[in-house]
Structures are given as C-alpha cells and as structure tokens.
Structure 1
C-alpha cells in the first residue's frame, strides 16, 4: 500500500455545522465520515459540508442508507470523496455499488458537473471522469455472516477500492453481540484484512481504538471518534471538574 493515504476519521451522526471541518483540520483529523444510514443528514447538508471539506483538504466520506443509484450517485454528485454502502453481502450488490459510483468505462454513473468537479467550468468530461474515478473511493462495508462468506468475490471486484468492517453488526450477525467473544471477532476481521492485503485494497474499521490497534500492521482507514461520543465524554469530564470544585466549598 505504498503511497496510499492514511485516514484519521471522525464518524458524524448529528453535527452538521461546517465549522466542524475547521475543528477537524486544526486537530489533525483528515476525514469526516457522515452517516446517512443512521445519522440525521440530507443531501443539502452533505453538499455544504463537502465544499467546506474540499476547501480545507479534509476528506468527506458518506455512508449511504442503501445500495441504490439515487443515493450512491447523488452522494458523489454532492461532492463526497467516497461513498460506502452498509451490509454488502453479495458480489451482485458490490457490482451495483461500482456501477453507480464510477463513470464509464468502469461503471455507468451519469455525468453532471457541480460539487463533484468543485464547480469547474463545464466541458472536459473525459478528463474529469478519469480524474474522479481515480480519486474517489468506492467502499463496501462487510458486517454480516453472508458478507464474510462472499468476501473474496466482493473484495477482488474491480472498482471496489476499500473495505470497512462494522464490528458491532458483524458480532450481532455472528450471534455474539456486545463483544461476548472478542477472539472470534478478531479472527473473522483478520480474514477480511488478509484479503484486502492480497488484492491491494484499502482496509478500515469503524470501532474502538483497542480493536484498531490489533490490526495496526495493515489499516488505512481508522474511525473510532464519533461526534456524539466526543461531546458526551467531554461533558462528563467537565461535570467531574464541576463536582471537584463544588467539593472544595465544603
């Protein structure tokens, strides 16, 4: 994976203020990952955030709620650097993801200028399509038993650039939710990591730091921070400090 970028990410569920891009940039976070599956975002917000991100050298990834042309192509038209589909389980689903996220000749994504070309002048379609195809990441999220069974077919598919594991749903699918069998989870994730190494694809995890560390020999997309958790933990820490000050009065 020489010359491949390493992404330090924050998963976004509720914060839609463009200032978040500047906060991330100043903190050295180079990826904001917006969740349209479970998060509260619409296309207009993704468009605004993507333009802010492009202007500040922060990448913006988006998880689509489902594997449909209406979501995949529009997310990328809104300017996202990458699109991810959750619970990819079959090579047919992966092929549809590629088909709707890549311009010809790799896929059949329809062409339109806009945020995806940073509102450059119209024309130059062939070159724009070539540049965009090579720059965006098409990501399949594997997080079910069926996805594991078909992992080789999915990961080896031309046009799939990256695989991200969802440990929570994967553990639920395996019948061991709440980290009841950590070694089993690690074993299954290791299989995906090995396939990504074999086919020279990006490998990532959305999960706890302790889990990311176990795959430090080969991981390019690291997402552990979540906006809700960051806010909650910060508030808890301040509450402890307030209580500490209050006790001094006694």
Structure 2
C-alpha cells in the first residue's frame, strides 16, 4: 500500500478534494473523472454506511483519487470498519484534547502501535502487503471544530501520528456562540490560530472552502488539504445556473 496523498501532505504540497454524500455510485464515478486529489466519503452527516461507501469507492477504482472516510465519531469500531472498507485514511470529528488525538491514532494502527483489529478482507485484495504497510501509510486527520480544540491545538497537533487537521468552520462558529457566522472576526482569528500552530509543528492544514475565503485565497495562504465543496452542492448549483441562464429567477430560501 502506497498512500501518495499522505506523503504529498508531509512534503508540504497542496491538494484539493470534495465531500461525497449522495449514496449512488454514479455520482462518485462521474466526479472521479475530474482532477481531484481525494474524496471524503462522509459517514457523519450523510446516509452513507459501510456497504454504500464500499460501492461508491469501487465505482472510482482505477483513478488516482485517494479515498478517505469521515467517520461518525472518534470510535475505534467505526474507524476499524472505515479502514477495512479500503479507505486510505480517516477524518475523525470532535477531537478536543491530546487524549482524543491519541485515541484516534491508536484506532488506525495495528498492534503494537495501536488497537486496530486485524481482520483483513477487502484490504488484502487491494494489496497483498497491506498488513505490513498500513501502519505507515494510513492518513490520520483530526477535526478541529470547537473552542476547546482551538485552545488545545498545540497539544492535539503535536500528538505523534497526527498527519493533518481539518477545521469545520460551521461547527466551530456554533461552539463559539456564533452559529453559521463563519466570516465573523472571532471565528476567523480562531481558524488562523490553528493554522499557525499547524505550520509551526509541520502538521498539514485542511479547511472547507467558502467559509470566509475562496479556494484561490486559501491556496494563496498556504492551506494544504482543501475541500472545494460537496456533491449535493455541485448538483444544486449546476441546476441553478442552468435555470438562471434560461432566464428563470431562482430564489435562494
């Protein structure tokens, strides 16, 4: 197993990907024809389960896009299932302390480095050497989305085995009592603080674009793991643009 995305991030390279939430393989297959670096299959805020995710991942097989899964919680069982599906890494939500970060990392590692159960099924079909290489190649991304996590950013991001962080601006703004106000100066200061901590520690930085800045602006700032959006947004925006080009006024509720 060779996870080129992980080592690109470690080298400081910038990458762009999207969230997959629509539970049909036609979607991941179609979007995988575009030059994205990675897909995140979202098991936290979408209908995707292990079986659906595997089917969507199979639809993009043969592309250079790296499949990742955002698990629903920092739970070793959920992380194990995600990795056994064939994901090259996980995004773990609600990491608020060093202990949370250690828990996430250990769930991604086989013994003696961690507690991941050893029951290869699909992964061994993808790579006969998977058991030898997984501990080295699996990408661990922790999600920073609360005030507590911002305050403890240094202890979280200095945890051995954490490769990158991803900021959830909407949850972060809510945690700060500013629900949805992702452009609020207080929220942007918190985002920038975590970014600077990550840069100091050599941990790759990730964020959802459109949360106060465009993809172009975040690239210019030096962010490395950039989410352009999600499949459902692209579907809606494409339909909206087609209607507007036809002269139909679309009201945004």
Mark yes or no: TM-score above 0.5: yes
Larger Rg: 1
Q: Deviations over 1:111-144 (max 9, x none)?
A: 22233344445xx5xxx34422222211110000
8 Å contact from structure 1 (residues 205, 222) kept in 2: yes
Distance 1:6 1:239 in 2: 34
Using the alignment, how far apart are the partners of 1:227 and 1:182 within structure 2? 26
Matches within 5 A, 1:103-122: 103-121=110-128
Match of 2:15 among 7, 12, 19: 7
Alpha-carbon deviation of 1:243? 3.3
Instruction: Give the structure-1-normalised TM-score.
Output: 0.85
**Could you say what secondary structure the match of 1:222 adopts?**
strand
Quote the Cα distance in structure 1 between the aligned partners of 2:125 and 2:209: 32
Q: Distance in 1 between matches of 2:113 and 2:20?
A: 30
* Mapped partners of 1:114, 1:200: distance in 2: 34
Question: 1:23 matched to which residue of 2?
Answer: 30
Gaps of 5+ in 1: 245-250
Residue of structure 2 in register with 1:185 after alignment = 187
Does structure 1 conserve the Cα–Cα contact (< 8 Å) formed by 2:169 and 2:182? no
* Equivalent-residue separation in structure 1 for 2:173 and 2:219 (angstroms): 17
After the TM superposition, which residues 135-154 of structure 1 pair with which residues of structure 2 at under 5 Å, given as runs? 135-154=137-156
Unaligned runs of 5+ in 2: 1-8, 249-253
Q: Distance in 2 between matches of 1:26 and 1:154?
A: 36
- Map of 1:1-250 to 2, 5 A cutoff? 3-13=11-21, 15-121=22-128, 128-179=130-181, 182-208=184-210, 210-212=213-215, 213-214=217-218, 216-243=220-247
SS of match in other structure, 2:202: coil
Q: Hey, what's the Cα distance between the residues in 1 that align with 2:31 and 2:119?
A: 29
The TM-score with structure 2 as length reference comes to 0.85
The structural deviation recorded for 1:157 is 0.3
Q: SS of the residue aligned with 1:223? A: strand
CA distance in 2, matches of 1:71, 1:2: 26
Query: Which residue is equivalent to 2:6?
Result: none
CA distance in 2, matches of 1:28, 1:144: 32
Q: State the 4+ residue runs in structure 1 displaced beyond 6 angstroms.
A: none
